[in-house]
Amino acid sequence: MIEVRGYQNRRVAVLGLGRSGLSVARALMSGGAEVQAWDDSAEARAMAEQAGLALTDISRPGALEGVDLLIVSPGIPHLYPAPHPVIAAAWEAGVPVDNDIGLFFRSLGHADWSRHDSPPRVVAVTGSNGKSTTVALIRHVLAELGRPVQLAGNIGRGVFDLDPPEDGEVIVLELSSYQTELARALTPDIAVFTNLSPDHLDRHGGLGGYFAAKRRLFAEGGPDRAVIGVDEVEGRFLANQIAMGAADDRVIRISSGRKLSGPGWNVFARKGFLTEWRKGRQLAAIDLREMRGLPGAHNHQNACAAYGALRALGVGPRDIERAFRSFTGLPHRSQLVAEAGGVAFVNDSKATNVDSAAQALRAFPRIRWIAGGLGKEGGIAALGPHLGNVVKAYLIGHSARDFALQLGSTPYEICETMARAVARAAEEAEPGDTVLLAPAAASFDQYRDFERRGEDFIACVKQTLARREGTADRD
């Protein structure tokens, strides 16, 4: 655990007692703070009490009197579509509002680094898509090289559940817009921006607010190095805002699909090859085409982002290439779960929006596509240009019939359930096909979260293949 510094014998309220809320409450108590914890959910309060937290209803009028700080969990709205009443009360009472990420950076800054020969460093990754794969890839490469590394944030552990960093350790954080928007301190050594596509627009008051939330990671603390995806206009704007000139190599620009030129530091992927250019000359190239853990252009973009961060940490190109080859991917993100009879089964349950589903649909040549769930605004209409590789769609969940109306001439079947969709896709698949779960929808109509949906897909694939093998044995 990393203790919260600077709040000994002071009163701190914690609103929201999920993973991050429980983590920060424990860290505050360990650092000597007087914690007043609360959650609107009775179930969450019961779990917090089981974990040994004393509860105080901070939603009562006047409950924030004498409180020095309010810590808010990421999922709680603080501005749009409307501020939570406790946050509004904190504003009226003059109580500073922060989250666990801001408190983490402030606590880390209080740490005694003098005992380290090589001070620990923090790499923080944000963006719309690819964050999880990028941070996992950075962690994988460093671990393969025997360097101490920990992963936290929007993936894995809460930031305060990290172990105190050792000499030369790298802390890799995945940060969502919910986390960067409210944090009062954001001071990573290296900050990474993968890309931007519309998401969470109601929470941020539109696309501009969404981008502004992510931009704070680069504007608040000023990282030593910034790795920025420039395939969208927002990334190009951000890179220009930071760089002092064309040759300023504090900014590493990355792209998937186009060559980057100029005297600065550039990393790009084209036709399956990752290339690094710096000061007008090529330094390295990596063939990504046969790396099974990094299929498709979207994963090549993730590879560029991870490569840029690793180079900023001083890792050599050949060491990065060797470690890339052993990366198997993350669960529920272009995860190869089985191959049988020349047919691949790929779990991309994390593809919960149109943009991430489009990336998955471009990654494989012949696709039996399992899609559907709780559709988002606009459905899958925007996926029309990306359906060329889809042999047939197998639609599940609440939005199955709505999605069917937006498929144009693409063949489809309404399957309703995951079990039927997997069985039908496997039955009709031919050698060279990929049965791909890329829902383009939220999971909450049938599943608790996208992880549970992906696990069901894997279970259904195993059951289907086992039945097929049993039938073959009987024959």
The answer on whether 209 is annotated among ligand-binding residues is no
Tell whether 130 is in a known binding site. Answer: yes
The C-alpha atoms of residue 32 and residue 438 are separated, in whole angstroms, by 46
**Within 13 Å of residue 110, how many CA atoms lie on the same side as its CB?**
13
Tokens of 352: 């919960």
Residue 129, annotated as binding a ligand: yes
Chain length of the chain:
475
Does 133 belong to an annotated binding site? yes
Distance CA 369, CA 88 (A): 45
Q: What is the DSSP letter of 22?
A: H
Residue 131 marked ligand-binding: yes
Q: Which long-range contacts (CB under 8 A, 24 or more apart) does 382-391 make?
A: 382/354, 382/358, 383/354, 383/357, 383/358, 383/440, 384/408, 386/357, 386/358, 386/361, 386/362, 387/361, 389/361, 389/362, 389/364, 389/365, 390/361, 391/366, 391/367, 391/433
Please report where in the chains the tokens 């709505």 appear, as a residue: 402
Annotated binding residue 128: yes
DSSP assignments along 44-103, one per residue:
HHHHHHHTTPPB--TTSTTTTTT--EEEE-TTS-SSSS---HHHHHHHHHT--EE-HHHH
- Provide the annotated binding site: 127-133
Going by the annotation, the residues of the binding site for ATP are: 127-133
